Structure 1
Amino acid sequence: MKQYSLLLLLFIFPTIILGDETKPKTLIDYEPILRNAITQFETVFKSSPTKHDLVEQKVNFIIRQAMKGEITFLIDVNGNQDLSAMGFVDFYNENKKPAIVIGTYFLDQFEKNPSIFYSALVHEFTHAYDFFNSQRYFLFYKNNRIVKALFEADAYAIESLFIQNYLVSQKIKLTKFEQFLMDDFEKTQLSKIILINQIASLPLLHAFLEIRDSKDSIEKKVTSLNDIGKNLIEKFDSIKSLKDYDNKMEIIAFYFTYHLLLDQLVYDIEQKESEVMIEPETFSLQKYPTLYQTKKQISEKVKSYENEFEDYIIKENQRIRTEI
């Protein structure tokens, strides 16, 4: 396959973006940058002396989809702020074709920091792979915060494996974000990036998923969730004695995750067991009084940390998205 194969399917928004007041910059100026960036990505990907099966699976699959015209690339004229300026969209127009949307932030940065373009592209390839291979699940749960966080964790894991096996092995200079991500992958299995990015505790989400997908009855699953909540309540007063600030925020994340996502989880458990669609507005956690009271206690307790936790998330999000 020729290295420019992906570029044959490139779509461009017919819009002008201003670079500075004296010299307007159009999307025609960005098109060759994107062409070169994708060509260089293919070179890096194919030339790596080390490979990883999962990365190969995701990237090669999406390359094939692009060659068939099943997915395309778009330039986002407004995506010029930070590392959030690249994303996957499932249906971007009346043709209902998925696309990877690339903000001009990455194109402006490419000459100086090409690696972050490569890494972000693999991240979005992973989301695209999940869409193509689990389309009903992907679309049904696209607005479900629990599943969305787990999709993000998977994409960050593949991105981390790409950095380790394809960039580090070729001695390509990494950005601060990539170094942070690789370190988080190795030390916490991505708990920090999911905390910052999705405002959720990844370990608790895994526990939620294990309960949701078990073969236990709904009543037993609810009891298990209540036990988790009671355990959190018992340990709540120990938070103030924690010396390590990051660790303190990770512990507090358990409480906010329980507080914010428990209703969604129990709804998902009921929906999983039901043969008909349960309308979300008809669901109430109050049908499980003990669990409802446990959640209510946790919701009251975490109010004392709400401002501190929110401030931490905002500052860390800004730091990792802008310090490349």
Structure 2
Amino acid sequence: MKQFTYSFILFTFLVPNLLFGETTKQKTLSDYEPILRNAITQFETVFKSSPKKHDLVEQKVNFMMGQAIKGEITFLIDMNANQDLSAMGFVDFYNENKKPAIVIGTYFLDLFDKNPSIFYSALVHEFTHAYDFFNSQRYFLFYKNNRIVKALFEADAYAIESLFIQNYLVTQKIRLTKFESFLIDDFEKTGMSKIILINQIASLPLLHSFLDIRDSKDSIETKVNSLNQIGQNLIAKYDSIPSLKEQEIKMEILAFYFTYRVLLDQLVYDIEQKESEEIINPETFTLEKYPNLLQTQKEITQKIKIYEKEFEDYIIKENLRIRTEI
């Protein structure tokens, strides 16, 4: 698609590999450039040719294609990216005073001939992040290092990606990868809860509850009491965990406890910051002014220690699986 503006970054020197006594030429940046151009052209064709459309997908993709045509976002090839499905991402480059970019690892380009669908799906995912940046830049930049909001941004991007797969790939009978099949199954059955558990190590249902409390018009005291009640409910149900025989369900339940333990400080900080006219120093912020809430958090922290290794092993195993299974 000639109207797109492309710019590329080369991160490594390329040295021939010697295999079985013969020199195998590694691909260079110039080898990958036409592959990327073709991949984006094919994406545009698939997107426009679909007999079925979805308003949210159309909104994100059309807007970002327009930004690309205007040169407001670039596409960069990363020769050093991971060799798995994490090898594509959106980078805002805001602090470097450069235009934002979709950074694409060679993994996707090497796979394109055999598995083009995963390039299309991942691109829609990153277009969604880019759309959020362009349309809510202040919010995006303020919260981009906030684990709660980051997880919710990811859930939204995975949802749009799933809608794209359902409405643009499946309808055109384009063969899906295992990851894409997993994603639409998760979208239909749990609303992205499993991918967020594996990818962000968080309970999506609890994050939604956190956000509802944060954004309510209640007083800080009422919000803190609500959070304490959530924690007390978790403590009351703790003894039922050993009876959970199915691993998937057990991990989903444990995610509530680990999310509460890890992200509670961030949430209360966000609640206070929302009401404050000055920036609160996150380095010195503590829950000590809320002794009941702090005690609840400590009790949950102590109780779930016995499950830490099991939970961590599950996350590592599943994260590796979804990043590498094609």
Residue matched to 1:236: 238
Distance of 1:285 and 1:221 partners within structure 2: 13
Q: Secondary structure at the match of 2:283?
A: helix
Q: Deviations over 1:5-53 (max 9, x none)?
A: 22x3333427444574321321111111111100100000011101101
Residue matched to 2:62: 60
Distance of 1:4 and 1:299 partners within structure 2: 55
| 1:312–1:141 Cα change, 3 Å | same
CA contact (8 A) 1:16 1:25 kept: no
CA contact (8 A) 1:259 1:298 kept: yes
Distance of 1:187 and 1:63 partners within structure 2: 31
CA contact (8 A) 1:15 1:27 kept: no
Distance of 1:272 and 1:94 partners within structure 2: 27
Distance of 2:229 and 2:187 partners within structure 1: 29
User: TM-score, normalising length from structure 2?
Assistant: 0.96
Q: Secondary structure at the match of 1:88?
A: strand
| 1:40–1:73 Cα change, 3 Å | same
Residue matched to 1:102: 104
CA contact (8 A) 1:146 1:205 kept: yes
CA contact (8 A) 1:19 1:25 kept: no
Distance of 2:98 and 2:268 partners within structure 1: 32
Distance of 2:97 and 2:261 partners within structure 1: 40
Residue matched to 2:3: 5
Residue matched to 2:29: 27
Q: Which of 110, 113, 122 is the aligned partner of 1:111?
A: 113
Q: Secondary structure at the match of 1:9?
A: coil
User: TM-score, normalising length from structure 1?
Assistant: 0.96
Q: Which of 278, 284, 287 is the aligned partner of 1:285?
A: 287
Residue matched to 1:88: 90
Runs of 4+ in 1 over 6 A off after TM superposition: none
State the aligned residue count: 321
Residue matched to 1:41: 43
Q: Secondary structure at the match of 1:128?
A: helix
| 1:239–1:74 Cα change, 3 Å | same
Distance of 2:94 and 2:35 partners within structure 1: 22
| 1:14–1:145 Cα change, 3 Å | closer
Distance of 1:206 and 1:144 partners within structure 2: 15
Distance of 1:165 and 1:303 partners within structure 2: 43
- Greater shift, 99-108 or 76-85, is seen at 76-85
Residue matched to 1:259: 261
Distance of 2:209 and 2:291 partners within structure 1: 22
Letter in 1 for 2:8: F
Letter in 1 for 2:323: R
CA contact (8 A) 1:17 1:27 kept: no
Residue matched to 1:74: 76
CA contact (8 A) 2:75 2:103 kept: yes
Distance of 1:213 and 1:79 partners within structure 2: 37
Q: How far off is 1:81 after superposition?
A: 1.3
- Greater shift, 206-215 or 61-70, is seen at 61-70
Q: Secondary structure at the match of 1:206?
A: helix
CA contact (8 A) 1:12 1:74 kept: yes
Residue matched to 2:212: 210
Unaligned runs of 5+ in 2: none
Q: Which of 173, 176, 183 is the aligned partner of 1:174?
A: 176
Residue matched to 1:301: 303
Distance of 1:89 and 1:19 partners within structure 2: 31
Distance of 1:92 and 1:26 partners within structure 2: 29
- Greater shift, 13-22 or 116-125, is seen at 13-22
Q: How far off is 1:94 after superposition?
A: 4.3
CA contact (8 A) 1:52 1:161 kept: yes
Q: Secondary structure at the match of 2:104?
A: strand
Q: Secondary structure at the match of 2:27?
A: strand
1:195 aligns with 2:193: no
- Greater shift, 60-69 or 262-271, is seen at 60-69
Unaligned runs of 5+ in 1: none
Distance of 1:132 and 1:38 partners within structure 2: 20
Residue matched to 1:247: 249
| 1:107–1:236 Cα change, 3 Å | same
Residue matched to 1:153: 155
Q: Deviations over 1:205-261 (max 9, x none)?
A: 000000000000000000000000000000001001011110000000000000000
Distance of 1:17 and 1:199 partners within structure 2: 36
Letter in 1 for 2:117: S
